[in-house]
Structure 1
Amino acid sequence: MSEKDNLHNADGNEDLNSKAITTAETVADNQDASTQESTPSEETETVQPVEEHSETIDTTETADTTERGENATSDTTNNSEAATSIKNDAHVDEIEESNAEDAEDEGNVERHSIEDKDYHAMSMEQLADEFETLLKTKKVQTIKSHVDEIKSEFNSKFSEILDEKKEEFLSEGGNEIDFFYSSPLKKRFNALYKDYKNSLNAYYKTLETNLKANLENRLRIIEDIKGLINVEENINTTYKHFKDLQEEWRNAGPIPRDKYNNAWNTYHHHVEIFYDFLHLNRDLRDMDFKHNLDQKLKIIDRAEELAKDDNVTRAFRELQVLHKMWKEDLGPVDKEHREAIWERFSNATKTIHDKRQAYYADVDKAHEANLQKKEAIIAKIEAIAKDDLSSHQAWQNKIKVIEGLRTEFFNAGKVPIKVNEATWAKFKSAVRTFNKKKNSFYKGLKKDQYTNLQKKLELIKIAEDHKDSEDFETVTPLMKKIQSEWKEIGHVPRKDSDKIWKRFKAACNHYFDKLNAERNAANKGQVEAFEKKTKLLEELKELQLSGTPEADLETIKQKTEEWNAIGPVPQNKRFIEGKFGKTIDGLFNNLKMDKSEVEMIKFENKLEHLSQPEDTRLLDNEHHFIRKKIDEVRGEINQLENNLQFFSNIDETNPLVKDVLNNIENHKENLAVWEEKFKKLKELY
């Protein structure tokens, strides 16, 4: 026997807590437990309404038999009053409307169990992925609200990109009528949406046919129940026939939502009339009344438990199921209990309704806070858009800041629906203003880069035209000049940068490689001289003097002559001459001879090295240096002699005067050496 059989079986043995209430809990547990719930919205693709059935509740209708009498009229009136009470309660209307929507298809539970996500914070790629997942894993009739929100967010983000691409196109001189932009991601999304619409249309086409058939079947069942009171047969047979019709009603399938309440109210009206008719067999009626009362009391107990639940979304979803069971699975109770149990059930429903309204009031407050965040972000973007930037780096930095603010905007959460479009439009306008200024800057920058490109192409032509030249004396300065000019020219378009640099570098390298090869051949002797001098320098560093001045002086002279005989070294290797001079000076300093004499020997040795016929610049430099030293020493002597005038009344034995006199004498000896050096130097000119 099915659960529905048990729920309506007159013996009342079925435990609602173990099955019916558990069913309600299971359904509710499968609902979306997120903190925000969408208010059910009407489907865009509505099923065409079926023709209104003429059958409505007639509260004045009575049976032809005298047995119904006042009881039937009283029960019918009482039922009408209850219906009026229910109709006037907003908290019950909310449940009824939601259940009516769910009754139109069999995906109601799944629709409520789909997780609500923050589509606003998702990227276009994530939105497309989410759309595809819904299509593959959920029934098409259950995902409309999610698809609508995904589509709205995707189109808004794509519209922003489209505006930016259009602005770039126009800034580069394009004609607005010629603008077109798409992307693989947009094509993918459009294909997904087309599949969705095709599947949804096919579903509704089938559903429309089924809804009409189910409605006709249910209206036929109502007519059959109405006819039971006029059938002359055993009451037990009639009662069994009635129970079969009830089971047939429960299995009749969904009907159009706009016919839902009227059909169910008409059905309940005639069911109650039948129960009034059953007063001829009170045992059967009372068993049903008792069973229905027990089950409704259990539903009330569960509803009162839900009224204490802090998860208002879950409580509301399970309450929907309880109302559906109350209305669709259970029949009437004795009229003496009807008002009391409905009052309890209605009160529990109102408590949940009020908590739900308070919850949405808090959600509205959160949305208002999100609106303030987004307005602050928009204000920052507008302020940045007013900045006048003049460099590529400055714009790149601001672009990163704008990207960060865009991310903040999308992550700030939902705003009140009434200002959602206006807020989004204001955000796009601020970003568009920034992008226009950015594109204007880069338009001018691209123009400059194109000019720079032409300049560098001209330099490339010069380099390539002269890369094979053997007129090194003329071309080498030219090649160095264009290399310097290349560095002074600014940026070129990125797509051309690497390509033209490689061409220019290849031409220059080709020329200088050829030049270096030529010089290496000419300087081969200088390279060999450098190698010999390097070896000789190492020997000098290890040389040990004998201690005999004449012999040691001859040794130093021989090594110097040997060094000079080797010849010049390459220009970039002349540092070795300085090392040689320091080494020779060290050897001279170790000679046991008069310092002045040693100094002159060192100088004569130096002159031999400086007097190279191919380069007189070294002698010129030395000439200038000695003249400068002579002038400095003379100046110091004059200064010291002037200082002596302050000691005219002091004895020359005075330590201070004596020190000045000694200092003057030392400077004069030093001056004599420099003058002798100058004399030797003049002899070479």
Structure 2
Amino acid sequence: MLENKDHLLQNTVEGEVNSETTESKETTESKKESEKSPEPEDKSQEVIATDKTEAVKEDVHEEINESNAEDAEDKDNHQRHHIPILDYHAMSMENLVGELQRLVRNEKVQAIKKHVDGIKHEFDLKFLDFLEHKKEDFIAKGGNEIDFRYNSVTKRQFNEVYSEYRDKRNAYYKNLEQNLNENLANRLEIIAELKGLVNVEEDINTTYRNFKGILERWRNAGPIPRNNYNDVWRTYHHHIEIFYDFLHLNRELRDLDFKHNLEEKLKLVECAEALAEEEDLNKAFRELQTLHKVWKEDIGPVDKEHREEIWERFSNATKVMHQRRQDYFKDLDKVYEQNLEKKKSIIQKIVEIGSHIASNHKDLQQQIRDIEEQRDAFFKAGKVPQNVNEQTWTDFKEAVRGFNRNKNAYYKKLKKDQQDNLDKKRDLLSLAQSLKDSEDWDTTTSEMKRIQREWKTIGHVPRKYSDKIWNDFKNACNHYFDRLHAIKNKAHGEESANFDKKFACLEKLKAFELSGDKDKDLTTIKSFIEEWKSYGRVPFNKKNINAKFNTILDAIFKKLDVSRQESELMKYGDKLKKLANADNERALIHERTFIRRKIDESLNEIRQLENNLLFFSNTSSDNPLVKDVVKNIDRQKETLATWKAKLKNLNIMQHSLIKEEIQANEDPDSSEDE
């Protein structure tokens, strides 16, 4: 459509048509009134029916006139009828871009306006929905709405193709506008000449030849702006009819033209009436438009006797076609109603999915796929009635947004939980890294195993941190346990050697015979104990050699009449020496804690046994059960005494160490004083 029109010329044409047409109508209608028979008293129903019929005719004629006006502006305009308008609503944004590109590159720019407008409308709706979806995700992930930006490749491609279309369209209309306005001015001049023919005093044959020349010039005058098309043609035909009325002085010339025009218009009427049988409704309506164009542009008026009758036949044929289209659109409306029900059902499914969000990632991903399937089904469901189109689209978008809001709320909570898990794992990682170089093997090994178990109980962390934190934790644990295994492998060889040495020591102890001198024998036995302790640990599966050694010692102590407590303290004395020589405060604390725990265990065991003995208060002391309990109590008391003696010896040893340390610190000071 041209943006800049010659409004002055248009107003001149419209004013001329209105005044002259009114005058002509008044003359014609006054003549009709005189010929009519008396009307019945009540014609209200007839008038209503007539008004409706005329309104239908006027609507379809107006539609055809507007379409022909558009085609008349450029001979290539009519191609738009042959370019199918696809279901753009069912297309994805990418497919819409592809279809727009195909139209712009392959079709005449003036023939694709409706197609481009439809594509742009659907693309804008889909992109807005897509953009809102991305914005919700951005905000759900902690982003600030004001910071939201999204660079869409598809949108950029669409803008590029649409810009190409606009450039082509603007260039086309810019080149077309000047030519159309020149043609309009030329046609108005021709109308003015035609109007002046009835006022020229000359031979009628000369006037008629001038008239034919004007008709020929009119046919070759070229296209004019579509806004002026119908008014200019009405004015032109109006003056044609006036000229033929003027030709009453030469009926022969006029009647020949009238006869020829009538024959041609009858052919058009017959073609229009035959279109009722054409199955392809769109093709039939396009041909009807062509017939109207020929009627208006190529064929002149007929005599008054046939003028109204022939037009009535042509209009009725047009009305039949219009009714066929109305019926088609009614059927189409039924399809649209069915599509509406489909879309309502789809919207309801989306609402149901959105109101029951899954509680785990896997199921939620399935729901997301289900929503995408429903979205595709919605766009493929077809068009709905125009009056509910916007509301249906709004309901659809709100249903999808409702799902997205609930989905984002789930992932927001999941993100918080994963962040908490990340913090917990970072704490364990720090602890593992702090222990990886420790040499307190017993305590650290237990702790490392504990934090490994705890790590397994902690859930997922954010994906971008998952691999790194796991690798760091695994490396810290592997570093420690590799060191531990290396030491154990080394120790295994030493333990085997220790076993061989202890086995030799055990054999010597077995062969030992008492001399009869108790002190001498005890000194020898102590040397055996010191030698045994000096060899260290043996392989775990051969630890029973220690029990064999103690069994032989107990037998020897028994022969020497040495009590169990005395023998235990003798064995313990060697351990105290090692603790004293190690100068390890931590080992002393650990040993003290161990002995105190054993003392507490013995006390608890004695209390429990004594409580059990109360159940036998009325039972004879000769009862085997009573004897067994008493025996256990005595044994626990003996054990308790041994542990207390060990604690005493430990305290003595520790006090001696402290005293020696004080003396060592005082000696330098004393020498300085001297």
**TM-score normalised according to structure 2 size:** 0.62
The residue number in structure 1 matching 2:294 is 325
Point out the structure with max Rg over C-alpha.
2
Amino acid at match of 1:123: S
SS at match of 2:542: coil
Report if aligned partners of 1:131, 1:192 keep a CA contact under 8 Å in 2: yes
Choose between structure 1 and 2 for higher RCO, CA contacts under 8 A separated by at least 6 residues.
1
Residue in 1 that maps onto 2:542: 614
- Identify the residue that residue 121 of structure 2 maps to in structure 1: 152
Counterpart Cα distance in 1 of 2:447 and 2:240: 110
Q: 1:346 to 1:173 in 2, by over 3 A?
A: same
Equivalences for residues 474-493 of structure 1 within 5 A? 477-493=446-462
Q: Is the 2:2–2:173 contact (alpha carbons within 8 Å) kept by the matching residues of 1?
A: no
Q: Is the 8 A contact 2:261 2:299 kept in 1?
A: yes
Q: Which residue of 1 aligns with 2:57?
A: 89
- SS in structure 2 opposite 1:252? coil
Q: Determine the C-alpha separation between the residues in 2 that align with 1:44 and 1:386.
A: 52
Task: Report matched runs for 1:421-436 at 5 Å.
Answer: 421-436=390-405
Within 2, Cα distance between the matches of 1:345 and 1:197?
40
Q: Deviations along 1:202-232, whole A, 9 cap, x unmatched?
A: 4444544444332221110111222334556
Residue 412 of structure 1: which of 371, 375, 381 is its match? 381
Pick which of 106-115 and 203-212 moved more.
203-212
Instruction: Give CA deviations for 1:489-541 in whole Å, capped at 9, x if unaligned.
Output: 2111122223333444455556666766777788899xxxxxxxxxxxxxxxx
Question: How much has 1:307 moved relative to structure 2?
Answer: 1.0
C-alpha distance 368-61 of structure 1, shift in aligned 2 (>3 A): closer
Are the counterparts in 2 of residues 272 and 332 from structure 1 also a CA contact under 8 Å? yes
Per-residue CA deviations over 1:595-635 (Å, capped at 9, x if unaligned) read: xxxxxxxxxxxxxxxxx971669x9xxxxxxxxxxxxxxxx
Note the alpha carbon deviations across 1:531-587, whole angstroms, 9 max, x for none: xxxxxxxxxxxxxxxxxxxxxxxxxxxxxxxxxxxxxxxxxxxxxxxxxxxxxxxxx
Shift of 1:354: 0.4
Determine which of 179, 183, 207 is the counterpart of 2:152: 183
- 1:600 corresponds in structure 2 to none
Q: Distance in 2 between matches of 1:392 and 1:45?
A: 56
Higher helix share: 2
**For the structure 1 residues 110 and 465, does the alpha-carbon distance in structure 2 shift closer, same or farther, using more than 3 Å as the test?**
farther
Within 1, Cα distance between the matches of 2:195 and 2:5? 29
Q: Secondary structure at the match of 1:180?
A: coil
Structure 1 152/106 Cα, relative in aligned 2: closer, same or farther at 3 Å? same
Q: 1:528 corresponds to which residue?
A: none
Which residue type is aligned with residue 329 of structure 1? D
> What residue identity is the alignment partner of 1:244?
G
Check the 8 A contact 2:258/2:303 in 1, yes or no: yes
Check the 8 A contact 1:378/1:427 in 2, yes or no.
Answer: yes
Give, in whole Å, the separation in 1 of the partners of 2:381 and 2:22: 59
1:408 to partner: Cα distance:
1.4
1:130 deviates by 1.9
Q: Which residue in 2 is equivalent to 1:254?
A: 223
In structure 1, the partner of 2:535 is none
- The gaps in structure 1 that reach 5 residues or longer are 1-42, 63-72, 526-611, 620-685
CA contact (8 A) 2:354 2:403 kept: yes
**For residue 305 of structure 1, what is the aligned residue in structure 2?**
274
1:168 Cα deviation (Å)?
A: 2.9
Matched residue of 1:55: which SS? helix
Which deviates the most, 233-242 or 323-332? 233-242
Matches within 5 A, 1:331-480: 331-387=300-356, 389-463=358-432, 477-480=446-449
Say whether 1:223 aligns with 2:192. yes
Provide the C-alpha distance between the structure 1 equivalents of 2:185 and 2:264, rounded to a whole number of angstroms. Answer: 30
Counterpart selection for 2:131 from 162, 174, 183: 162
What is aligned with 1:556?
none
Structure 2 distance, partners of 1:453, 1:403, is: 32
Q: 1:276 to 1:388 in 2, by over 3 A?
A: closer
| 2:20 counterpart residue number | 58
Q: Name 2:579's counterpart in structure 1.
A: none
Partner of 1:58, secondary structure, is helix
Per-residue deviation, residues 174-194 of structure 1 (Å, max 9, x unmatched): 433333334222233334334
Indicate the SS of the match to 1:400: helix
Secondary structure, aligned partner of 2:301: coil
Q: Name the TM-score, length of structure 1 as normaliser.
A: 0.61
Contact 2:448 2:477 in 1 (8 A): yes
Which letter does structure 2 place at the counterpart of 1:393? K
Secondary structure at the residue paired with 2:181? helix
CA–CA separation in structure 1 for the residues paired with 2:6 and 2:115: 23
2:413 and 2:248 map into 1 onto residues whose CA distance is 95
More displaced 10-residue stretch of structure 1: 354-363 or 128-137: 128-137
Query: 1-side partners of 2:8 and 2:103: how far apart?
Result: 31
Q: Distance in 1 between matches of 2:330 and 2:86?
A: 20
Give the SS at the match of 2:234: helix
- Write out aligned runs for 1:474-623 (5 A): 477-508=446-477, 614=542
Q: How does 1:40-55 map to 2 (within 5 A)?
A: 47=5, 49-51=7-9, 52-53=11-12, 54-55=15-16
Identity %: 57
What do you get for the CA RMSD once the two structures are aligned? 3.9
The amino acid that maps onto 2:128 is: S
Q: Secondary structure at the match of 2:20?
A: coil
1:259-308 deviation per Cα after TM superposition (whole angstroms, max 9, x unaligned): 32221122112223333445555555444334333322222222122111
Q: 1:450 to 1:287 in 2, by over 3 A?
A: same
- State the match for 2:80 in structure 1: 111
- What amino acid maps onto 1:155 in structure 2? D
**Is the 1:86–1:93 contact (alpha carbons within 8 Å) kept by the matching residues of 2?**
no
Contact 1:307/1:349, CA 8 A, preserved across alignment: no
Contact 1:132-1:192 within 8 A present in 2 as well: yes
Aligned equivalents of 2:76, 2:439: Cα separation in 1: 88
* CA distance 1:412–1:276, shift in 2 (3 Å): same
| CA deviation after TM superposition for structure 1 residue 173, in Å | 3.8
Counterpart residue identity of residue 16, structure 2: E
Number of aligned residue pairs: 478
Point out the more displaced range, 366-375 or 189-198.
189-198
Contact (CA 8 Å) 2:2, 2:177: kept in 1 or not?
no
Match of 1:559 in 2: none
